Amino acid sequence: MNKEEMNRYESFKQKFFHWFLAFQDDRPFSAAAGELLALLKEELALEQAVFYLYDPVRAAFYPEAAAVGTPDARPIAADGERKVAVVDAGGPHMAARLFFMLSDETPAMVELVYRKDGGFDERLLWEIRTDLARLFRKLSAVLQGEGEEKRYGQLHHFAAKIHSSMHIDVVLEEIIRTLQNVYPSFTYHLLLSHDNHLRGNLPIKTLVLDEREKQTAALRAFLTGQVQCEEMEAPPRSVLYAPIKGVQAVYGVIEMIAPYAAPFPKREIHFVSLLASTAGSALENAKLYEQSRRLVADLQLINDTMRQLNARPRLHEAIEYMVSQIQQSFGADEVGFFLFADGKRELLPGSTPFFFDHRSEPYIEWVEKRRQSGNDILFAGDVCVSAFGSFRSIMAAPMQQNKETKGLCIALASEPYRFTFEMFKLLESLVQHSTLAFMNAMLREELEKMVVTDYLTKLHTRRYLDEVIQTSMGSDAFGALILFDIDNFKQINDVYGHQTGDRVLVQVAETVRANIRDGDVAARWGGEELAVYLPKVPLSDAISIARRITEKVREQTIPTVTVSCGVSWWERQGCEDAKQLFKRADAALYMAKETGKNCIFVHDDCHLYKV
């Protein structure tokens, strides 16, 4: 070891002391290593100095920092157990390669490129190797300590922020933001199941849970709740999968793709695991909060639905309302209600038109097969299009009463995974509660067929009215029909309640009965509509009676209501039947409702006009 070499190396050590005092510990390791190499190059009169890290996947050292410019040197294969190696670098240059351990699990190497006419003594190279190993290890430890402090500070900030929010989207956004701050050169994805309907531009991918597919590392992380790592071949990358795990379940997986292929250090795996567990706890709290809100909303939906169904005594009206409610609440495209009776399946009126078409048969058969096989889960997120049709999501709920299946409700959607399992359970509850209303509506209609008096108004039933008109048109010379509809009756129910609405209906019925002859027939036509048939009464008298009744209704009801009237009339030479008489009266009533209400329209066999 000559004196000049020693002097230059001692000068490097002295200048390193001054460099270290001015060193900024918030810089990346590669930048700090580059400054240290530049100082070494200057003091030892080197052509270049490059720092390498070992990649165990490719079994080679790859450049990490250089004294001059970017580290664009080519990778160098591992050289067995050698600590110092001097090789010909081509041309007038030689290269001394100094191998050492940067940490317990990370081999490193420094390559010193110098001119052949200015070589180094082997003892000096060993001394430089020993010193550089200590310097780089201490430099790495200092920067790693600072980095760890910052990272765990960010983790603390992350935990505080996500635990202060009860919104799932906010939690997921903060996961990505924190990862981008800590690992800016990595690529991230959140792997979530189909049940997560989220908005925004989050990097979310669907986590496929299919037993037929090969189990991936991501799926293993989700199922086991343990961190999984794998290596990509093209391009070569290392990928880490960290489960977002709470106390009750695993809610997804964080996918981290490194910009290189090298095993993740244990400290990085530990940090990402902590972040994912913290996120899992916050996500679980957010989900529980949303579930509680959804439960309250579900109970409110069931309560409102039952109230509306009880206000619709006719079965087809109740079915139509339920179909509309299911479409609005669940996003269903088609809804069908089926009744089981005498070993047959009957499609109920009010179902959407699709179920009246033969194209619905594959979906109905699918539900029936699962039901008959004892499978209570009548739900599929994505059925095979080729075997069915354009609808991908399907769920069905039985209509049960006293543990007996009375029927079935089927809901379809064209979008795959449109229905969540929570929606399916809510549909079951909704249909279960509504079944009683349906059965009551059916029983009511059956009873109405058996009696001639309406249970509420005490007027005759529509069936009885039909029979009277048919008899009159066969024996009398002429007659008139008046239809009454209580104006804004729905508002009465909404404002005062259904009991008040019923009382108003009774008041109107009593007013009608008090203003007709004993031989006339007053009937409840349906809902808030009443009808009066006047046998052997000319049209002019029928109009007078309609006027008298409308005036009395306005004067005598509490709260005050008005009625709209439609009048039709027949005579024997007209050759019309009861159906036409009803149709003309209904058209007149429609015009009365459409042109301001609280008025009378007449539809004789030729004209439709207001009186």
Residues belonging to the active site: 528
What whole-number distance in Å separates Cα of residue 127 and Cα of residue 116? 20
Enclosing H/E stretch for 212? none
Q: How far apart, in whole angstroms, are the C-alpha atoms of residue 245 and residue 226?
A: 9
Q: Which pair of tokens denotes residue 378?
A: 């009548």
Q: Are 484 and 530 in contact (CB under 8 A)?
A: yes
Residue 290, Cβ density class (10 Å: 0-12 exposed, 13-18 middle, ≥19 buried): middle
Is there a contact between 410 and 368 (Cβ–Cβ < 8 Å)?
no
> What residues have CB less than 8 Å from 556, skipping those under 6 apart?
507, 511
End-to-end distance of the chain based on CA atoms, in angstroms?
126
Choose among 600, 603, 563: nearest CA to 580. 603
Q: E-strand spans in 334-477? A: 334-341, 344-347, 379-380, 393-401, 404-413
Q: Report the distance separating Cα 277 and Cα 275, nearest Å.
A: 6
Say what the alpha-carbon torsion angle 447, 449, 451, 456 is, to the nearest 10 degrees: 60
Q: How far apart are CA 532 and CA 481, in angstroms?
A: 6
Beta partners for residue 412, in sequence order: 334, 394
Burial of 32 (0-12, 13-18, 19+ CB in 10 A): buried
Stated as kind and residue range, the H or E segment containing 222 is helix 217-224
Sequence-distant (≥ 6) Cβ neighbours of residue 421 within 8 angstroms = 195, 379
Which two tokens mark 149? 């402090």
Rounded to whole angstroms, how far apart are CA atoms 510 and 522? 10
Contacts of residue 280, Cβ cutoff 8 Å, sequence gap at least 6:
243, 244, 245, 246, 250, 251
Give dist(CA 167, CA 190) in Å, integer: 16
Token pair of 177 as six digits: 């933001």
Residue 332 is classified by DSSP as: -
Helices (H) and strands (E) in the chain, counts: 14, 22
